[in-house]
Amino acid sequence: MLIVPEREIADLMTREAAFDAVEKVFAAMAARDAYNFPVVREAIGHEDALYGFKGGFDQAGLTLGLKAGGYWPNNLEKRDLINHQSTVFLFDPDTGKAKAMVGGNLLTALRTAAASSVSIKHLARDDAKVIGMIGAGHQATFQLRAALEQRQFEKVIGWNYHPEMLPNIEKVATEAGLPFEAVKLDGMKEADVIISITSAFAPSLMADHVAPGTHIACMGTDTKGKQEVESALLAKASVFTDEVAQSISIGEAQHAVAEGLIKESDVGEIGAVINGTNPGRTSADQITLFDGTGVGLQDLAVAAAVVDLAVEKGIAIEVDF
């Protein structure tokens, strides 16, 4: 069995490799070559931790496994460790033998950023110039860095519930040589692409804050009850997702579906757009919205890619198991 420790991931994994792995696995999901197993998430009654498993099997990429981990709210304060902790385990689909154990913390941010980037590549207008960020926490910086590679953006605008966090995304814009402007929510009308990545339980972005032709990637809502954008926006938009079952139950679409504004059949798969079986954007003034809920197969895909890179560079630790 191979081990790729968390400390090695930053030097091994590239945004390009994460993007390719996630784009391929979304395509395989839509072609029914890959599927996710039901998610387990439990409050374990110890350290206030939430722990669970996300797994799946990709028959096209021959990737089988799971990500185990969760959220330990006291880690930082008590132990100087980050609160989100996860590890990916890969198994040989021919034999069931354990194949690899890979640190999953940084990979989670990279695969989540890759998902919104894949949606921008396939759904945003080619002439998109202004990108708007809603959210300025840990994930937001990864999101923005990856998104900037998808179009010739000329400006970054941002809004955050906690404005004192905005310098986090301003720094990424500055590093990319782009001007940054903090705006009010209705200032998002200037954006051609909007990424929202917050932990909110009530909508910030309203339907009338969004101009025709915009692509929005909603990346923060991954649990029942969370919400980042007004349900009416989903009714106005063409909605796509990584996995329809998650989108309508724990994703942004849960609210619009519950309110009867859209139906399950209105939510398309991003993988079908990648495969060319769904046309995706069909006009310049259409609003497209990607509901990125986060699936286990994304984790397995980036972990498999990082194992290959680690083997190539002689960094993977081999243990007899």
Place of tokens 């919104």: 116
Closer of 99 and 112 to ligand NAD (Cβ): 112
Q: What is the DSSP letter of 220?
A: S
Contacts of residue 27, defined as CB under 8 A and 6 or more positions apart, other chains included, come to 271, 274, 275
Stretches 24-32, 158-166, 171-179, 303-311: which one binds ligand NAD (CB under 6 A)?
158-166
> How many CB atoms sit inside 10 A of residue 32's CB?
10
Residue 238 touches ligand NAD, criterion: CB under 6 A: no
Q: Which residue type, as a one-letter code, is found at position 35?
A: Y
Find, among 127, 45, 51, the residue nearest to 83 by Cα. Answer: 51
Residue 171 touches ligand NAD, criterion: CB under 6 A: no
Stretches 94-102, 136-144, 177-185, 306-314: which one binds ligand NAD (CB under 6 A)?
136-144
Residue 195 touches ligand NAD, criterion: CB under 6 A: no
Residue 132 touches ligand NAD, criterion: CB under 6 A: no
Closer of 132 and 135 to ligand NAD (Cβ): 135
Place of tokens 């938009």: 237
Please check whether residue 41 is in contact with residue 86, taking contact to mean a CB–CB distance below 8 angstroms.
no
> In angstroms, what is the minimal distance from the CB of 222 to ligand NAD?
4
Stretches 1-9, 54-62, 119-127, 191-199: which one binds ligand NAD (CB under 6 A)?
191-199
Residues 24, 67, 99, 226: which is the catalytic one? 67
Residue 158 touches ligand NAD, criterion: CB under 6 A: no
> In angstroms, what is the minimal distance from the CB of 95 to ligand NAD?
30
Residue nearest to ligand NAD (CB): 137
> In angstroms, what is the minimal distance from the CB of 312 to ligand NAD?
27
CA distances from 269 to 30, 32, 42, 165 (A): 7, 11, 28, 33
Closer of 99 and 209 to ligand NAD (Cβ): 209
Find, among 144, 136, 153, the residue nearest to 117 by Cα. Answer: 144
Stretches 86-94, 96-104, 198-206, 232-240: which one binds ligand NAD (CB under 6 A)?
198-206
The values of phi and psi at residue 103, to 5°, are: -60, 130
CA distances from 72 to 153, 199, 263 (A): 37, 16, 36
Note if 224 is an active site residue: no
Tokens (6 digits) for 263? 């139906």
Q: Report d(CA 24, CA 28) in Å as an integer.
A: 6
The contact set with ligand NAD (CB under 6 A) reads 108, 112, 135-140, 160-162, 165, 197-200, 204, 219-220, 222, 292-294
Residues annotated as catalytic (active site), given as ranges? 67
